[in-house]
Amino acid sequence: MPSLPRNVRRQLLGWYQSNRRDLPWRRTADPYAIWISEAMLQQTRVETVIPYYERFLDRFPDVQALASADLDDVLGEWAGLGYYSRARNLQRAAQIIVEEHAGHLPDDPEQLRALPGVGRYTAGAVASIAFDRPEPIVDGNVTRVLARLLDMHDDVGKPAAQRRLWEVAGELVKGPEPGDLNQALMELGATVCIPRAPRCLACPLLRHCQAYRKSDPAGLPVKGRKKPPRRVEAVAALVLRRGRALAVRRPPSGLLGGLWELPGDDLQDREKAPEGILRGLRERVGLEVTNPQKLGTVEHIFTHRLLKLHVFRCDEAPRGRTRLSGFDAHRWLPPTSLRELPQGGVTRKALTLLLGEPP
Ligand code: SF4
């Protein structure tokens, strides 16, 4: 497979200088801020990230502030961005940076990769953008641009294709302005070399693009089929006692770790929702309820599962003392205060069903 001609680099940088979008993380040289933006941008669109990024930096302006924050506050600022392990990892990494690196992000990609949640992509992005190190990055945008430039028809999910992409990105980034070069590649993928209908006539690399000349850019990159998400059903209830509702917190690791939700459980094999809510509340929070009323269902897509949550309301006071199994904290709060706890999208949907749209 051919390599890229040398002037691709110069053309990309020239194009980037006059076409780059003005994004808040491009106005700073602070490695901490750049790291936060890169963590947020994984799996999330630029327009969604901007207000989160600004609020997060207002609240936690430096590594020390993030390291010493309450995890509930960190998750609260993250609520709505999804993939909550990113927020937990950011805080753990901040604590390590304070303890082992005197509060400064390391500039060495290997040291960056030793931090929780920092993979090859994030390490390359921070090292190149914040520290001017010639480290490559390969994300979805870069993959698409390179696969098309090289007219690469291998499945880009396969290790050999990944190796090749990292190698080409590594060759390209060598030279001055490595951070801008990486950002230029990503920007081209985000604004010109877009998935379905690439704007080839506006592309600075048109002359070098093998797919444009030889095949069909829109058909690249080739991706193997993903497994469809697993369907899971679960139950949850607003359990009321003397006007207060029970909220429970998940343990810190795993899916939605550290977030608050309504008590309940996954349905077991062939179990119906009305039985499941009685069993779930008994087994997971030690409470016996009578006459739970089903209000409806909400659905939520996680990366590998499609969750259907049956939502109940229990107005009659439950019997028993709260004993947690698989949760690590609980609170009885006025129902509307449940919305203020750090929570995932599925709990927000369930609360909207139970309490109406937030004011
Ligand atoms: S010419 Fe078209 S397919 Fe090739 S890199 Fe540019 S936008 Fe992408």
- The pLDDT tens digits of the residues spanning 42-77 come to 888 999 999 999 999 999 999 999 999 999 999 999
Q: Whose CA is nearest to atom 3 of ligand 1?
A: 217
The sign one gets for the Cα dihedral 121, 123, 128, 134 is negative
Query: Rounded to two decimals, what is the model's pTM?
Result: 0.83
The sign one gets for the Cα dihedral 162, 193, 10, 13 is negative
Q: Which of 148, 196, 213, 215 to mutate to test the pocket of ligand 1 (most atoms within 8 A of CB)?
A: 148
d(CA 77, CA 72): 9
pLDDT of residue 102: 97
CATH of domain 230-355: 3.90.79.10
Does the domain made of 7-219 have the CATH classification 1.10.340.30? Answer: yes
* pLDDT tens digits along 115-143: 999 999 999 999 999 999 999 999 999 99
d(CA 309, CA 307): 6
Answer whether residue 343 shows pLDDT above 60.
Answer: yes
Is residue 42 within 8 A of residue 123, CB to CB? The reply is no
d(CA 196, CA 217): 9
Alpha helices by DSSP H, listed for the chain, are 7-19, 31-41, 46-59, 63-67, 71-78, 85-100, 109-113, 120-131, 140-149, 159-173, 178-191, 210-214, 273-285, 345-355
d(CA 167, CA 142): 12
348 three-state secondary structure = helix
* pLDDT tens digits along 72-123: 999 999 988 888 889 999 999 999 999 999 999 999 999 999 999 999 999 9
Answer whether residue 3 shows pLDDT above 80.
Answer: no
pLDDT of residue 303: 75
Answer whether residue 1 shows pLDDT above 60.
Answer: no
Cβ of 217 below 6 Å from ligand 1: yes
* Residue 176, token pair as written in the block: 């001055």
Mean pLDDT of 226-234: 88
Closest CA to 324 of 269, 272, 241, 261: 261
Q: Which of 193, 199, 222 to mutate to test the pocket of ligand 1 (most atoms within 8 A of CB)?
A: 193
d(CA 330, CA 250): 9
d(CA 25, CA 106): 19
Closest CA to 13 of 147, 143, 177: 177
Cβ of 209 below 6 Å from ligand 1: yes
Answer whether residue 2 shows pLDDT above 70.
Answer: no
The Å distance, Cα 220 to ligand 1 centre, comes to 10
Mean pLDDT of 166-177: 96
Closest CA to 148 of 90, 114, 195: 195
Q: Hey, what amino acid is at 194? A: I
Q: Which of 2-6, 136-140, 202-206 has the lowest mean pLDDT?
A: 2-6
The domain limits of the chain are 7-219, 230-355
CA angle 235, 247, 250 (to 5 degrees): 75
Mean pLDDT of the chain: 94
d(CA 233, CA 245): 23
